[in-house]
Chains A and B, each alone.
Chain A
Amino acid sequence: MAGPSEAEKPFDIVATYNELLRTDSDMTMPIAAIESLVLLLTHSPSSTISETLDLLEKSTAHLKKSIPNPIGLSAGTDLFQRYLITTLQRPGQLGPAGDFNAIRAHLLSNGRLFVRRAKESRDKIATFGRGFVRDGSTILTNGGSRVVASLLQKAAAEKGGLSAVRFRVIYVLSSAKGDVENPSAEPEGMETVRMLRESGVPVATIPPSAVAYSIGKADTVIVGAEGVVENGGIVSRMGTYQLGLLAKAMAKPFYVVAESHKFVRVYPLGQYDLPIEQRVIQFKTQEDIAEAEKQRLDAKSSDVPAKTSSEYREVVDYTPPHLISALITDSGVLTPSAVSEELIKIWF
């Protein structure tokens, strides 16, 4: 019993997770979660299956609690746990009867393999999705999704090649308005905009308020996702839902680009049924503001305002499946209803 707790002391899973996300800009949340779990297993000297599972469960719960929005990472932890259990249940050398050290070694190597494969999946998606960027079309996109960026880049890079795709991009940039501390901070996605412009793609940037105005000029809407939920809807950066609604109203195809490891076992029934707490709508009177201001001055703790700003950048909304035309994933281009099929395949 003392084993795991001692091992956990030197190894802080939350810090590892955050560190992984910070150092590797290509890392997505589920992959970072899996990688940190693999690291945890290497650091902890657990010797039985149940001990390992117990440790994983505890660390996962701890990790989920410490991160404000655990939807993305829970896709990774769930997947890893599931993989672990199926591996252990399989008969043979690695089954319950086998040597535990062999099992562990196998798990670790496979965990690494999984992480590597997940990173490669972005290229695969770009290959699948390239066909959706047609010559002469205008793409509307938002947020800072790296998959969308790599897809657009792939399409742009072919410009000089055989299939010359000329396209334009309307990029919806959320001004970092919630960022009180740093009003001049670069809006999310600016990096992609620069990169696209460098490769010769004309990019227009618009604020979210201009989406309805501009969507008439766009042919296709392509967005990224933080998590793909069980009914085929997506959890994504705040503002994606309204993009979806407008695209539906204007009858523009709305594509979602996401790696299949982002499929998560969550079934939200609506915007307010997400398993996270978001403080987006906050009613205040002048009195409340004065009160809060006073408290802030009293406390003078520096981390409070910084936290709120980062929180604002991380808020998400839920786009229901009926707004989505298709999901471009590394296991193919799926309709929203096929997502549940994929999920069931993973889980049963």
Chain B
Amino acid sequence: MSAPADKKPAADPAAEKLSGAELKKKAKAEKAARRARERADRDAAGGTPGPKDGAGKKGAGAGGAAGGKDAGAGGQKGQRQQQRRGSTQGGPEAKKRPVENKNVAVFGHLYGQPRRTSVAGAGKEVHPAVLALGLQMRDYVVCGSSARCVATLLAFKRVIEAYTTPLGTSLSRHLTTHLSHQITYLSTCRPLSISQGNAIRALKLEIASIDPSVPEAEAKAALSEFIDSFIREKITVADQVIAGSAAQKIQDGDVIVTYAGSSLVKQTLLAAAREGKRFRVSVIDSRPLFEGKNLARTLVAAGLDVQYTLVHGISHAIKDATKVFLGAHAMTSNGRLYSRVGTALVAMSAKERAGGVEVPVIVCCETVKFTDRVALDSIVVNELADADELVEVQAPQQLTGLPDPAAAAAAAEQETKKGGKPNQTAHSGQSAAAEFPTDASPLANWKETPNLQLLNIMYDVTPAQYVDMVVTEMGSLPPSAVPIVHRMSTNM
């Protein structure tokens, strides 16, 4: 079932029940009141097929789910709901109810602009390649720190190729501003990664250092060459070097635990497999991105022995682990690892298991991901993704054909509430629930559920003492050496 189909029924009853409170607009409230009236009419008529019957059917299913949740929450909530229903009809009363803030207070500073959903409103300066890339990054089509960095650079290469210096200005001055528009657009699609930031900084530095007397074509060719060599040196070749040296740390009989889907860890494991080493891999994964699935698939295809667990099975997976390999989003100057949320949990489980000596935690990371920022916790700097990503659950196929218990309870609840009158509605609700099990997701109506906030955080910070070794293209380092290498690699 696709996402919009999920959301639509979720939004529909919302409009019916809460719209006055939510939208705080008189017109909308009136509309809702009208709708409520319509609905009451329909209920009374016993489900007369109306103009919006198709939606109504789904809506009944979702409404049933909501009812079921209320039943579970106890009498108090039920009362509140009834109150609300009453208030929908009495418009002015509803307007006084404040909109509940759905932001998690501790992370309040991270809720910036919601991610861009379309290219509408993008500046005319933004190159089509960048427009497309922005949306791809937003949808996690291009995902992962290095991949985003490479894709950005390649898009910028096309921007530079298509660029002509306007009259009365020089390339080294104007191109930077031109790129800034592209960068701003990209950052509204998804906040830029550390590696993207570093690459952009290097590119801007290169642009600024171009002699204004150099002909434009020559300058553009030089910049293209710079981008190519940057990708080659800092990512492509660096990845090969890292994979090669990290693979040396894998020995026969090892059980490697890895988390989510780092491309670098994938390369490392494949390199070790190519060398003929015999080892097992335990991939730990998590919702909602399931990046580990891809990794596990690739490793299985390469003939490796793979075990796939979600992060709640970590204590089992770590039990027979001999080494932990982790990818990185960034390494901070105090040696901490900033990576996909859940990484810290894996690293800590590995270190806490046996007094913290026997399971080494190895991070594979290019130096382009090093930053001079300092991270003390995962709260100050982080990225929040759309909380709705957590809601969409693909329920496993039900084999027995029994209706979802939650939906059934909801239907029963509805029936009792309405005194057995709307028999048909209840029935249709039940069948809808069986047809669309995702509607029964307990989080489907989270925006309308009072006191419920969802947090879909992207990264966390692993303290330096949980990392034994950072493998970079400049050699293996302890995490404490990150600032030194960062200083050296940026000065060169």
Contact = CB atoms under 8 A, between A and B. Distances in A.
* Interaction A to B: yes
A227 interface: no
A337 B470 CA distance: 13
A231 interface: yes
B357 interface: yes
A337 B475 CA distance: 15
A92 interface: no
B244 interface: no
A336 B464 CA distance: 14
B354 to A, nearest CB: 11
Given A270-B357, A320-B357, A344 B468 contact: no
Nearest to A230: B476
Contacts of B478: 230-232, 321, 336-337, 340
Interface string B232-256: 0000000000000000010000000
Interface in B152-181: none
B469 A265 contact: no
Contacts, number: 48
Given A269-B360, A269-B468, A270-B360, A341 B475 contact: no
Contacts of B484: 340-341, 344
B451 to A, nearest CB: 44
B481 A341 contact: yes
Which of B360, B474, B480: most chain A CB closer than 10 A? B480
Contacts of B323: 269
B475 A265 contact: yes
A230 B357 contact: no
Given A269-B468, A341-B481, A348 B474 contact: yes
B488 A344 contact: yes
Q: How many interface residues does chain B have, given as a range?
A: 10 to 19
A276 to B, nearest CB: 14
Contact of A344 (B360, B465, B469, B485): B485
Contact of A348 (B249, B358, B476, B488): B488
A273 to B, nearest CB: 8
B477 interface: yes
A344 B357 contact: no
Contacts of B249: 269, 273
A208 B249 CA distance: 32
Contacts of B468: 231, 269
Contacts of A336: 478
Contacts of A320: 357
A344 B475 contact: yes
A347 B360 contact: no
Contacts of B357: 270, 320
17 contacts: A230-B476, A230-B477, A230-B478, A231-B468, A265-B475, A269-B468, A269-B469, A270-B358, A270-B360, A336-B478, A337-B478, A340-B477, A340-B481, A344-B475, A344-B477, A344-B488, A348-B488
Interface of A: 230-232, 265, 267, 269-270, 273, 320-322, 336-337, 340-341, 344, 347-348
Given A267-B469, A269-B362, 15 more contacts: A230-B478, A231-B468, A265-B475, A267-B476, A269-B249, A269-B469, A273-B249, A321-B478, A340-B481, A341-B481, A341-B484, A344-B477, A344-B481, A348-B474, A348-B488
4 smallest A-B Cβ distances: which pairs?
Answer: A337-B480, A340-B481, A269-B360, A231-B478
